[in-house]
Chain A
């Protein structure tokens, strides 16, 4: 564990530039220690973990099969709450996917070189999260065999998708996001697959890694195009990642439902997605770092510190958006909007009910859970001792994960559970099928991530090597004798970066 107390040396090391790879590790060390995760015998804990997550995933698949074979009525959705856990879970998972592309694209364009140690696993997490997300809109339509109606294909009965509908934009946005993320991730993987191919001992491994490495041989005439391709993919992914959650928010924002019909939704959703995504990155990387101690030199306290700062920033942006919704409700003097915020979301049993005599909101607990998890708790990250304490970081990340789920639940369910007419008010109660489906997606997510860890390099080796001081072609000319000192040596590395 990183210690809570900071010594004078540590503070001094932090104000000077700390190397991104700790303990002066070499390129060969990186190759050896990252590849060994894939090459060594499968560790016992991996089987234990998979034997827990795989049955959960299978139960989720069973729930999906039961829902498809029986009908969407096995879920708790009914009038007036027609969207509930399905879309909550969809937005939750797709939001988690945003951190990967943010790390791989936006931090690449802004030259944040610390991204290299975490981008591979974050991108893998993105892809898996989008897979989990895609399940829900797919099955919530009820008759899934009609899902092809969403595709613009000419049909004999002249029904064409309505391109003016945000729901169709969503289909295009999410499918584009998934496709481009796969391309980006795979392009980044090719040099590392070549490493695994060159190191492979067994024929099968050499054949399989060889196929997917495409015959990559690290030629500079290739690197030149490769770097351009990577830059362009980062360039097109940057507006893409901002657009995807904006389009998801349009599903709500273009409607006329109080609580949904809000212009602040796109930036608010994007900030929330990055917020939740980084929490999930930490949720996965902190245990991975414990299980594979060699990763501690690549994913250093500095990396975790930076991710915590992004969580703090985006969490505060989300908090600002929550407040701005109140301001807009009050400023608009739209009585439905005011009613929704005050009486359906905020009114708590203590202050509002006891003191102000405003009846409590049916979903007050969801709203206050969201506010606590997303706005209040991340404020602990203002203190460096908290950002450096991995247990605290992990616990706060779990609060953020919960809070972001509650945020989507609050937005979706509280906005529609009380219709314009009090006669059509109603509460939403989930059934075991939708709870099972949601829990099942966690099983799918974790199982796929375990498989990823086992079979693919979870650190982008060729990219991490670039941030080593030795990768600088001018390094050896004036630091020949210093390069092997072995310790972190913050001072001497400054001029290389």
Chain B
């Protein structure tokens, strides 16, 4: 760790979800902007404690559904009614047969919204990212087990190595560690 120079931020550990949430409220109120909490599972109420709003991934899903619906409609109507009208067993081929096109329109609405939402998730969370400074921190591997962490980044305008460390100490953090890039 010595050879690393650049500081990524200060990490701290909390004993449980409740403590982490109360700490998050204090960090939010202290006016920090570039910080995050890490937990093995989503904590109910944490978004509010961090001052985060609703996730607009729902808009991406809606857009996906709309795209799927229109692509399927075009894919079906244009060939079936215009360029390749197909007479099967003398059954009608007019626009009145439109209910027969609904199942595929429905399926593609679902398919596209699911694909959009998963890609949107990757975009919003900037994943995949196989390297992250936090993985240099030994204790951090417990974030996927039963550890609760709070990390304030050095990029935050209010960040100061000594003051932030002191602040974290005051709000009851343990294992306060400087994380290097």
Contact = CB atoms under 8 A, between A and B. Distances in A.
Interface of A: 26-28, 31, 152, 158-160, 162-166, 168-169, 172-173, 176, 179-180, 183-184, 187, 191, 194-195, 197-199, 210-211, 214-229, 232-233, 236-237, 239-240, 243, 247, 250, 461-463, 465-466, 470-477
A227 B55 CA distance: 9
10 contacts: A164-B101, A191-B40, A211-B130, A216-B144, A217-B135, A226-B125, A236-B113, A237-B110, A243-B107, A472-B44
B154 to A, nearest CB: 16
B107 to A, nearest CB: 4
Interface of B is mostly: helix
B41 A462 contact: yes
A463 B50 contact: no
B111 A224 contact: no
A160 B84 contact: yes
Interface string B123-163: 01101111110110000111111100000000000000000
Nearest to A464: B41
A229 B36 contact: no
A229 B118 contact: yes
- 4 tightest A-B CB contacts, nearest first: A214-B128, A228-B55, A164-B100, A223-B42
Contacts of B103: 166, 169, 172-173, 243, 247, 250
B36 to A, nearest CB: 5
B90 interface: no
B61 A473 contact: no
Contacts of A158: 84
A163 B101 contact: yes
Given A172-B108, A236-B113, A476-B15, 18 more contacts: A26-B146, A31-B40, A159-B84, A160-B86, A164-B97, A180-B114, A198-B144, A221-B50, A223-B41, A227-B55, A228-B57, A233-B114, A236-B110, A243-B106, A247-B103, A462-B144, A470-B17, A471-B43
B39 A239 contact: no
B153 to A, nearest CB: 11
A474 B114 CA distance: 34
A318 B173 CA distance: 57
Interface stretch (B2-10, B73-81, B164-172): B73-81
A162 B130 contact: no
B104 interface: yes
A232 B58 contact: yes
Contacts of B128: 214-215
Contact of B45 (A184, A229, A473): A473
Interface in B51-69: 52, 54-55, 57-58, 61, 65
Interface string B1-25: 0000000000000011111110010
Contacts of A166: 103
B176 interface: no
Given A183-B115, A222-B125, A232-B57, A162 B120 contact: no
B44 to A, nearest CB: 7
A220 B108 CA distance: 31
Nearest to A465: B41
Interface residues of B, number: 72
Contacts of A475: 16-18
A220 B58 contact: no
A152 B76 CA distance: 9
Nearest to B147: A218
Contacts of B45: 473
B38 interface: yes
A247 B19 CA distance: 50
B178 interface: no
B37 A229 contact: no
A217 B108 contact: no
Contacts of A247: 103, 107
A408 to B, nearest CB: 21
B42 A221 contact: no
B181 interface: no
Nearest to B44: A473
A176 B107 contact: yes
B108 A176 contact: yes
Contacts of A465: 40-41, 146
A198 B140 CA distance: 9
Given A173-B103, A184-B114, A225 B124 contact: yes
Contact of B37 (A152, A220, A243): A220
A216 B88 CA distance: 52
A473 B18 contact: yes
Given A172-B104, A232-B113, A473 B43 contact: yes
A127 to B, nearest CB: 14
A187 B88 contact: no
Given A164-B100, A225-B125, A239-B110, A477 B143 contact: no
Nearest to B39: A218
Given A176-B108, A214-B127, A463-B41, A225 B57 contact: yes
A219 B36 contact: yes
A476 B41 contact: no
A162 B146 contact: no
A477 B18 contact: yes
A163 B65 CA distance: 20
Contacts of B88: 162, 164-165
B18 A218 contact: no
A47 B37 CA distance: 42
Among B17, B38, B103, B110, the most chain A Cβ lie within 10 Å of the Cβ of B110
Given A218-B39, A220-B36, A220-B37, A473 B21 contact: yes
B36 A163 contact: no
B57 A229 contact: yes
B174 interface: no
Contacts of A250: 103
Residue from B42, B55, B122 whose CB has the most chain A CB atoms within 10 Å: B42
B40 A232 contact: no
Contact of B127 (A195, A216, A232, A233): A216
B141 A198 contact: yes
Contacts of B17: 470-473, 475-476
Contact of B130 (A172, A215, A472): A215
